[in-house]
């Protein structure tokens, strides 16, 4: 047992300096080397689906995300048709590469989103789902986000922001077409 403990301690003290060791300031960081990314995103403002991320000058970046779903089989999914397109701008507040295996940044973001959908609606008389009408929604918002970068390539953005949405196709009072919510968003992408 003592032998296993000594081996474990030696392995831990050998590996930890490589994972959490200081970076050489003269080396290029992950932010200098990998300014584009592909992946997926999920959020009311960012969009749901595939995403493309591009870092521009001074660390500012832009992200596009979009997705679509269409299913002729009514009943299993809430929506028969659902598509969305989103764009976000990111403005870095603080960023650092802590080791060759871990980097991160804190940023402020703002974005726009368009969403269109046809919901399945439950008919209480026939007790079956039926196609509803087409709805469209427009959203804009802002918030804060963090991006965790593992092994210089795997990026995990996590965001929390306020989203103001307008759904002009909803029936009823004009004010019922608007909403403001605090929404989380997240994704996974590969930086290259």
What is each CA distance from 93 to 105, 147, 152, 163, in whole angstroms? Answer: 7, 12, 20, 21
Burial letters for 155-178: b for 16+ Cβ neighbours within 10 Å, e otherwise? bebebebebebebeebeeeeeeee
Tokens 């995403």 belong to residue? 51
Q: How far is the C-alpha of 6 from the C-alpha of 54, rounded, in Å?
A: 47
Q: How far is the C-alpha of 109 from the C-alpha of 125, rounded, in Å?
A: 46
Question: DSSP secondary structure string, 125-179?
Answer: TTTEEEEEEEEEEEEEEEEEEEEEEETTTEEEEEEEEEEEEE-TT--S-GGGGEE
* pLDDT tens-digit series, residues 70-123: 876 655 556 678 899 999 999 999 999 998 899 999 999 999 999 998 887 777
Write down all domains in the chain, each with its CATH number in brackets: 34-191 (2.40.160.20)
pLDDT at residue 55, rounded to an integer: 95
* pLDDT tens-digit series, residues 20-74: 555 555 578 888 889 999 999 999 999 999 999 999 988 899 999 999 988 766 5
């Amino acid at each position: 047992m003592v032998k296993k403990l000594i081996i474990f301690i030696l392995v831990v003290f050998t590996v930890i300096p490589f994972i959490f060791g200081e970076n050489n300031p003269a080396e290029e960081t992950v932010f200098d080397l990998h300014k584009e990314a592909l992946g997926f995103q999920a959020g009311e403002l960012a969009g749901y689906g595939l995403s493309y991320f591009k870092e521009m000058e001074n660390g500012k970046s832009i992200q596009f995300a979009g997705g679509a779903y269409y299913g002729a089989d009514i009943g299993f999914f809430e929506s028969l048709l659902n598509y969305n397109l989103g764009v976000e701008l990111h403005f870095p507040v603080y960023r650092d590469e802590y080791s060759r295996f871990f980097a991160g940044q804190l940023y402020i973001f703002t974005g726009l989103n368009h969403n269109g959908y046809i919901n399945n609606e439950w008919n209480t008389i026939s007790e079956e789902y039926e196609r509803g009408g087409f709805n469209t929604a427009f959203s804009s918002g802002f918030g804060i986000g963090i991006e965790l970068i593992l092994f210089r390539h795997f990026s995990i953005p996590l965001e929390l922001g306020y989203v103001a949405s307008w759904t002009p196709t909803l029936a009823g009072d004009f004010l019922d077409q608007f909403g403001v919510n605090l929404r989380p968003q997240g994704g996974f992408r590969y930086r290259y």
